[in-house]
Amino acid sequence: MANAAKHKDSLVRTAMRLFRQQGYASSGLQQILAESEAPRGSLYHYFPGGKEELGEAAVQLAARLMGEMLADLAGRHKTSEAFVKAYCRTMAKWMEESDFRSGCPIATTMLETAPHAPGLTRAGVAALDHWIDIIAPVFAARGVSAKEARAKAQLLVATMEGALLIARIRQSAAPINDIAAAFR
């Protein structure tokens, strides 16, 4: 990867991590620059819209990475029960590995910026829709209507969002693991 592309990627990945761990408002551009090790000029070169544009890129990256994980799970687990169980196992492991310092890759940013930052809000809507679009066919395979499958997928995403928050507060993966039983 060329240095220029490396710096842009580092800025986005660092912003994504910091926003997830400490929030959008608490993550300053100076900290993002320092931790990304990108040259100062690269921030406004790649993101002339500043922090909000960087935030959009971070949400888009998080959406893509989470989408890849969900698609992989959907491809390997053909029943909704197996998919939900694997999804819960993956997210519980992720939270434990972060020592419960991380949460949803977009939730903290969205809570702090939507609807006041239209670009970030659009990125958040696109992320959630992307995840729901990946999950809905898993439920549709059970023979439910497309509308019901989409509603179940949205319910699963919403339930996971809440469970991630509770898990972080309680420092326990139990709320995430409870989802699998609830979706049987």
**Are 181 and 104 a contacting pair, CB within 8 Å?**
no
pLDDT band of residue 2 (cuts 50, 70, 90) is low
**Are 147 and 84 a contacting pair, CB within 8 Å?**
no
Q: If we measure between CA atoms, which residue out of 131, 123, 27 comes closest to residue 69?
A: 131
In this predicted model, what pLDDT tens digit does every residue of 94-146 receive, in sequence order? 999 999 999 888 999 999 999 999 999 999 999 999 999 999 999 999 889 99
pLDDT band of residue 4 (cuts 50, 70, 90) is low
In this predicted model, what pLDDT tens digit does every residue of 35-67 receive, in sequence order? 999 998 999 999 999 999 999 999 999 999 999
| Domains in the chain with CATH codes | 52-182 (1.10.357.10)
In this predicted model, what pLDDT tens digit does every residue of 68-99 receive, in sequence order? 999 999 999 989 999 999 999 999 999 999 99
